[in-house]
Amino acid sequence: MMWDVDTTVTMMRVMSRMANLDDLMGVFSGYVHSQFNVERALIVSRRDLEAPRYRIVRAEVWNNDDARFRPCHTEQTAEGGLLAHLLYGSELEWMTDVSLEPSDPAFALLEDVRDLMAFPVFDEGETSEMVILLSSKLRANQQDLCGLAMMSGLLDRAIKAQEMVRRVEETKQELDRELQATANVQRWLLPSAIPIPAGVSIATSYQPARHAGGDYYTVTELPDGRLGVLIADVSGKGAPAAVLMAVVRTLVEVERRRCASPATLLTNINHHLVELGLNNHGVFVTAFCGVIDPSTRQLTYSSAGHHAPRLIQFADDQIVGLGDARYQPLALQMDTEYHQTELTMQPNDLLMLYTDGIVEARRTDGEFFGIGRLDQVLRQLPMPPTAHHAVAAINSAVSHFSVNSAAIDDQTLIALRIEQTPAENDTDMVTMTDRLATEPTQFE
């Protein structure tokens, strides 16, 4: 008996660490050579073939020069002969003094073979393949045959698991390519340029958690000179959220041309989304819509369940949340009427709009970034704050806070500042942004 328990356990331990099929087969083949003097190994398959046809899917021969098995020439398919008899017989076989007729399809492979062990590999109870070990003189007995049959079956399951992993990886890569294509389309739907009327400065930032996401924003100069700004967040993530975002974007583009106020725009969009039946599928959209008149600095706004924007009131040295016009999200109820609020912003005031990916960014311990940390970043801005600096500071702080955690939601920011004079190219914005990138705000 050549069944060495210690060697077998060592071999199985080594194989458990391998992810490459050739490496697995190499270890197994080396084991059966050293333990049983196997000089040649075949795997014969009947998949998708009718008797007596078969296919040799793997053939290896021992090479004494480098002490390892090497692949040898095999036919694509063959018919009849000894290998077909073994494969379709579906039995454990141990043969000695093997002798083949030259007409046998396997004659070239088995010409100098004297001993043979064959054991079936089952798939859902049916023989799918046969492992055949060949030698001029096998050192084995019936118990070895049973043990090798069991080991070969386990090896076959490992090979099939690896094949499944390979297919899953290929599917994942294809899905990633499709999601990247979706993301490219989604980015085309976001503003390529931001209008900046006299008296206002604006900065934006959009970072999807995955290839594609559900955040949307737009900044539009209205015919009367006012500035419209909207930020929205679709529930869910990935491609479904991106598709719904595209629907929201279309509705915004249609309604903004005929709506006189933010509240009317949100009310109409909600009506359309409910008409589409989204309320029956557990999806919704939060949104904040505002219109600012640069000449009077008057801001009119309405919110559909969106996080309250933060307003830095420069003269009063305080930060307030605009949550007084917040109603339920869009796409939940048909009869929801949205209302709006007005306020007058002062020179150097800064309005920060954001999606929940900012305040719900997490550390590895599960703690959220939160409104408190967002306000802390805003308080630490050099005064008077610039729109570009505010966006860069928040992005840097969130990134530093969640450095070891993957983002689970899209992160979008819009900063809008009231200027004392017409908007100018502020050269020190770049300097402050660059400095912030290397010296992020620290959070505990």
Q: Looking at the structure, tell me whether residues 272 and 326 fall in a common domain.
A: yes
Predicted confidence at residue 392, as pLDDT, reads 96
Q: Looking at the structure, tell me whether residues 137 and 200 fall in a common domain.
A: no
Q: Looking at the structure, tell me whether residues 244 and 159 fall in a common domain.
A: no
pLDDT in tens, 178-237: 777 776 776 777 787 888 888 899 999 998 776 666 889 999 998 888 999 999 999 877
Q: What's the rounded Cα separation, in Å, for the pair 377 and 327?
A: 27
Nearest Cα residue to 38 out of 120, 129, 139:
139
428 inside domain: no
Q: Cα angle at 256 between 414 and 244, to 5 degrees?
A: 70
* Radius of gyration of the chain measured on its C-alpha atoms: 35
Q: What's the rounded Cα separation, in Å, for the pair 79 and 83?
A: 9
Q: Looking at the structure, tell me whether residues 132 and 203 fall in a common domain.
A: no
111 inside domain: yes
156 inside domain: yes
Q: Looking at the structure, tell me whether residues 270 and 360 fall in a common domain.
A: yes
- 428: three-class secondary structure by DSSP: helix
Domain of residue 81 covers 5-163
19 inside domain: yes
pLDDT in tens, 78-96: 999 999 999 999 888 889 9
Q: To 10 degrees, what angle do helices 142-189 and 21-36 make?
A: 170
Q: Looking at the structure, tell me whether residues 203 and 150 fall in a common domain.
A: no
Confidence check: pLDDT of 435 > 60: no
SS (H, E, C) 100-165: CCCCCCCHHHHCCCCEEEEEEEEECCEEEEEEEEEECCCCCCHHHHHHHHHHHHHHHHHHHHHHHH
Q: Looking at the structure, tell me whether residues 264 and 401 fall in a common domain.
A: yes
Q: Looking at the structure, tell me whether residues 133 and 205 fall in a common domain.
A: no
Q: Looking at the structure, tell me whether residues 212 and 290 fall in a common domain.
A: yes
- Yes or no: say if 229 and 413 are a contact pair by the CB < 8 Å rule: no
CATH number for 121: 3.30.450.40
Q: Looking at the structure, tell me whether residues 197 and 297 fall in a common domain.
A: yes
Q: Looking at the structure, tell me whether residues 12 and 62 fall in a common domain.
A: yes
Query: What average pLDDT does this structure show over 158-175?
Result: 80
pLDDT in tens, 238-296: 777 778 888 999 999 889 888 889 999 999 999 999 998 888 888 899 999 999 999 99
- Has this prediction a pTM greater than 0.75? no
- Look at 23-37, 263-277, 347-361, 386-400 and tell me which has the smallest mean pLDDT: 23-37
Which residues lie across from 230 on neighbouring strands?
A: 218, 289
CATH number for 233: 3.60.40.10
Provide long-range contacts, Cβ within 8 A and 24+ apart, for 373-378.
373/397, 373/401, 373/443, 374/310, 375/310, 375/319, 376/441, 376/443, 377/441, 378/310, 378/312, 378/319, 378/350, 378/352
Q: Which residue has the higher pLDDT, 345 or 4?
A: 345
Q: Looking at the structure, tell me whether residues 41 and 123 fall in a common domain.
A: yes
DSSP string of 19-35? Answer: --HHHHHHHHHHHHHHH
Percent of the chain whose pLDDT exceeds 90: 35
Going by pLDDT thresholds of 50, 70 and 90, the confidence category of residue 153 is confident
Predicted confidence at residue 174, as pLDDT, reads 85
- Yes or no: say if 250 and 244 are a contact pair by the CB < 8 Å rule: no
- Look at 9-13, 45-49, 116-120, 208-212 and tell me which has the smallest mean pLDDT: 208-212
Cα Dmax for the chain: 104
